[in-house]
Amino acid sequence: MSFNQYDDDEEAFEEEFEEEVDDQMDAVAPIKRSHRGWWAVLAVIVLFVGTLAFYDFDKPEDLPFEPTGAALEENFDQDDVGVPVSEEQLYAIFGDDLTRFTADLSHIYKDDSEFYSDEAYMIDTLLPKLEAFEDQLNTAEVWKQFVKTYEEAQWILEKIYWYGNFAKSIDASNSTYQSYVNTGERLSQLFNETTAFYLPELASHDESTIREILNYEGMSVETLEREVESFFEYKAHMLSKESEEIVATLTGLLNTPKNVWDKITVLDPYFPYYALEDGTIIDFENEKQLNQLRRDSDIAPSLFEYAIMVERQNQNALAELLVSEVKKNIALAKIYNYDDFLSYGLSGAKVSPQVYLDLINSTEVHLETFQRSQRIKDEHQLWINSVDVYPIENAYKLLKDSYAFYGDTYARDFEFAANNRWFDLVAGPYKEAGAYVSGIKAVHPYMIMSYGGSLDDLFTLTHEYGHVANYTLSQKNVPGVDWTPQNFTAEIPSTHNEIVLSEYLKKQATTDDERLMYLLNEIDLIENTFFFQTLLAEFQYDIHLRISNGELLTADDLNRLYGALEIKYYGDFLEEFMYEKSSSYWMQVPHLYYGFYVYSYSTSIALAYDIYSKFEAGEITPEMYKTFLSLGSTLSPEDALNKLGVTLENNDWIEGFFDYYKGLVDELEAMVE
């Protein structure tokens, strides 16, 4: 059965959906759980008020099952389903002392009183102090005092914001943590509103005065020129002070599509439990359980067909959200006087739109190798079925051994972070899915993930540590607000760690089967990162282009466009694995609400392979790489990569990556023939 068979027969879809739900509800009956002008700014307001308005109306009222959610009713047995791994598995992975592998958030605030003290300090002292600088930014000395106050406020705001978000990620059921998140969001908006004046005010001076003000620290000529150039580049897209203030007040409203998407897909998803024939209960919120079943040829097709049927109950609401997000980006591009949506979307990353377009065009030329890989794996049934469990101490040792690639300090820094509880790795019933790292200038970065001991978890762990290393070194070496890594280069350290680990494991393999498993894992890493994310990038660009040209896209249109791209990428192989790559998968991708970002996963893995090759050839040293990780966003991505001998001006880096990938597929083919 293909998902697409329902596209032209809605009645058949609804009939089979209701029949399947009835059967499943019988099986799981005991289980329930609960500046360009004011017109442009006003257009954004109307757009998002409309987005808010449709949500409740589009929400189904008569679904024949209870929606799942974060909260569980008293009669729900947590030992059966809902927990990513059992308590017994947790102790097998982490040993008796689970606390060692949870994040110690007291590094941010020792107790709640410190949190509330910082909140009061922001409101009563720092925000009024910042406000007093308005109409005063006319000398280098005043500018210096403003920047000092601005940075202090930003460091405290980071602590408040991430304290709540880290705590909520670890336990989403705790209403106190949600209140902390709300406090952080409220203070962020107040901070943006209070400081909206400073860039327009600085821009109001003549160039010589601006140079004098920006040169308050007596910086080098090179640094000053870079600051001046960056400022005047930004000035071309700056609004009036009044309009900047209005946009600042809309900060929360502009996040509406992503926030509502979270509510529908994370907090209020409409997935009942699914009962297999042997009585096993499947929880669609349990990513680890789903991933384990994903390649079971007897279970996966029916399981994922059912998931798509359920998911499509919300497809009209999710389509409206995505279209609203796209309209927001197009509107902001016009408001800020950019040539088009892509120039606006990549402006923060300081990347030319041509890099984005070259990525898509270059990938299209090499899809034949990608499709050949799919055929080889299907013909020989080559799927990673690693039953190996990597207890955390073993995982740590493997990572430290692989980090010898970077010299001594990288592994020592990893060990320090792990021993001082910068990581939260223990799964729990209310822990949010996924893995991420964020840094706090005044403290250190934290890693949040649920480590279950699988090969996939091992690679996720080293991926996320790449972000930790990047944040840590940038935090130590960049004193000002430019300490956070550039968006374009942020995924390079994490992906490079995966390559280093993969090559290390292949070299350590003692049998052909073991080497084949690691080779397959590396090929999957490339395909799931590069090709899949490029598909998403092309989809994101396409729908922006269509909507900017006046097309009205519905859920059916989005399914059709996404499905066409899957056929383009996967070719005739797609039909057999339609359950894995459904035409409505776009509904599940949060990164489509993060502006133009998904492309950076693709460019990062290609650049990471180029960097790895230069490491192997002795053209890059550990010290050079450490310097690269220490730059924050002080340089443009192009200038930062130049320090490693990598240039974006030509496509050698991406062509070299494709050659490497083709070599891996050739090796796979030779091993199985």
Q: What's the CA angle centered on 342, arms 639 and 468, to 5 degrees?
A: 50
- Rounded Cα distance between 431 and 301, Å, is 28
What was the pLDDT predicted at 16? Answer: 54
For the stretch 229-268, pLDDT in tens is 778 877 788 777 777 778 777 777 788 888 888 777 755 5
Determine which of 154-158, 235-239, 278-282, 439-443 has the lowest per-residue pLDDT on average. Answer: 278-282
- Rounded Cα distance between 257 and 266, Å, is 14
- Residue 244 resides in a domain: yes
Greatest CA span in the chain, whole angstroms?
77
**Total of domains in the chain:** 1
Q: How confident is the model at residue 342 (pLDDT cuts 50, 70, 90)?
A: very high
Q: H helices then E strands: how many in the chain? A: 30, 5
Strand order in the sheet with 446-448: 423-424, 446-448, 436-438
- Residue 454 resides in a domain: no
Please give the structure tokens belonging to residue 444.
Answer: 């250190």
Domain carrying residue 168: 105-254
For the stretch 557-588, pLDDT in tens is 999 999 889 889 988 766 554 534 468 889 88
For the stretch 108-122, pLDDT in tens is 999 999 999 999 999
Long-range CB pairs of 607-611 (<8 Å, 24+ gap) are 607/489, 607/492, 607/641, 607/646, 607/653, 607/657, 608/492, 608/495, 608/496, 608/499, 609/499, 609/656, 609/657, 609/660, 610/646, 610/652, 610/653, 610/656, 610/657, 611/492, 611/496, 611/644, 611/646
Q: How confident is the model at residue 4 (pLDDT cuts 50, 70, 90)?
A: very low
Q: How confident is the model at residue 289 (pLDDT cuts 50, 70, 90)?
A: low
Using DSSP's 3-state secondary structure scheme, residue 436 falls into strand
What was the pLDDT predicted at 584? Answer: 83
Q: Which of 455, 390, 457 is nearest to 423 (CA)?
A: 457
Q: Are 310 and 60 in contact (CB under 8 A)?
A: no
Place of tokens 């005991």: 30
Please give the structure tokens belonging to residue 121.
Answer: 């300090």
478 to each of 11, 475, 483, 517, how far by Cα in Å?
Answer: 60, 6, 5, 41
Please give the structure tokens belonging to residue 437.
Answer: 């790292």
What was the pLDDT predicted at 199? Answer: 87
> What is the pLDDT of the chain when averaged over all its residues?
82
Mean of pLDDT values over 377-401:
85
For the stretch 486-521, pLDDT in tens is 888 999 999 999 999 999 999 999 999 889 999 999
- Rounded Cα distance between 327 and 335, Å, is 12
- Residue 232 resides in a domain: yes
pLDDT exceeds cutoff 50 at 81: no
For the stretch 165-206, pLDDT in tens is 999 999 988 899 999 999 999 999 999 999 989 988 988 898
Q: What is the CATH number of the domain that holds 195?
A: 1.20.140.70
To 10 degrees, what angle do helices 315-335 and 555-570 make?
90
- Residue 295 resides in a domain: no
- Residue 671 resides in a domain: no
pLDDT exceeds cutoff 90 at 20: no
Report which of residues 575 and 606 the model is more confident about: 606
What was the pLDDT predicted at 288? Answer: 54
What was the pLDDT predicted at 284? Answer: 58
Instruction: Tell me 32's DSSP state.
Output: -
Place of tokens 């790895």: 612
Is residue 601 exposed (0-12), middle (13-18) or buried (19+ Cβ within 10 Å)? buried
Q: Which residues pair with 275 in a beta bridge?
A: 281
Mean of pLDDT values over 323-329:
95
- Residue 328 resides in a domain: no
- Residue 603 resides in a domain: no
- Residue 148 resides in a domain: yes
